[in-house]
Amino acid sequence: MDAIVTAGGIPLPEDPLYPYTEGHPKAMLPVAGKPMIQWVLDALSASQKVENVIIMGMTEKSGVSCSKPTHYLPNEGRMLSNIVSGVQKALELNPKTEHVLIVSSDIPALTGEMVDWLVDEIGKTPADIYYGVISRDAMETRYPNSRRTYTHLKGLDLCGADINATHIRMATEHLDMWEALIGNRKSPLKQAAIIGYGTLILMLMRQLSLDDLVRRVCERIGIRGKALVWPWAEAGMDVDKPHQLEIMRADLAGK
Per-residue model confidence as pLDDT tens digits over 110-137: 999 999 999 999 999 999 999 999 999 9
Residue 134 neighbours by CB distance under 10 Å:
26
Residues 77/182, Cβ–Cβ less than 8 Å? no
- Given a cut of 90, is residue 186 above it in pLDDT? no
**What would the mean pLDDT of 64-86 be, rounded to a whole number?**
92
CA 188 from centre of chain: 15
Higher per-residue pLDDT: 179 or 244:
244
Sign of the alpha-carbon dihedral angle for 199, 204, 155, 108: positive
For position 214, what pLDDT does the model report?
A: 86
- 114: buried, middle or exposed (CB in 10 Å: 19+, 13-18, 0-12)? buried
DSSP state, 197? H
- Given a cut of 60, is residue 50 above it in pLDDT? yes
For position 167, what pLDDT does the model report?
A: 93
Label residue 181 by pLDDT band (50, 70, 90): low
For position 9, what pLDDT does the model report?
A: 87
Task: Of 162, 165, 130, give the one whose Cα is nearest residue 236.
Answer: 162
Q: What is the largest CA-CA distance in the chain?
A: 51
* Packing angle, helices 197-204 and 210-221, rounded to 10: 170
Residue 186 neighbours by CB distance under 10 Å:
11
Label residue 216 by pLDDT band (50, 70, 90): confident
- Given a cut of 90, is residue 219 above it in pLDDT? no
Label residue 143 by pLDDT band (50, 70, 90): very high
Higher per-residue pLDDT: 93 or 77:
93
The span from the CA of 170 to the CA of 88, in Å, is 11
Task: Please tell me the least confidently modeled range out of 3-17, 94-108, 186-200.
Answer: 186-200
Higher per-residue pLDDT: 95 or 175:
95
Task: Please tell me the least confidently modeled range out of 78-87, 124-133, 213-222.
Answer: 213-222
Q: Where are the domains of the chain?
A: 2-252
Label residue 231 by pLDDT band (50, 70, 90): very high
For position 187, what pLDDT does the model report?
A: 61
- Given a cut of 60, is residue 185 above it in pLDDT? no
The enclosing H or E element of 39 equals: helix 36-46
- Given a cut of 60, is residue 184 above it in pLDDT? no
CATH topology of domain 2-252: Spore Coat Polysaccharide Biosynthesis Protein SpsA; Chain A (3.90.550)
For position 197, what pLDDT does the model report?
A: 64
Looking only at the bridges linking them, the beta strands covering 129-135 and 163-167 are antiparallel
**What would the mean pLDDT of 107-111 be, rounded to a whole number?**
98
The span from the CA of 5 to the CA of 60, in Å, is 14
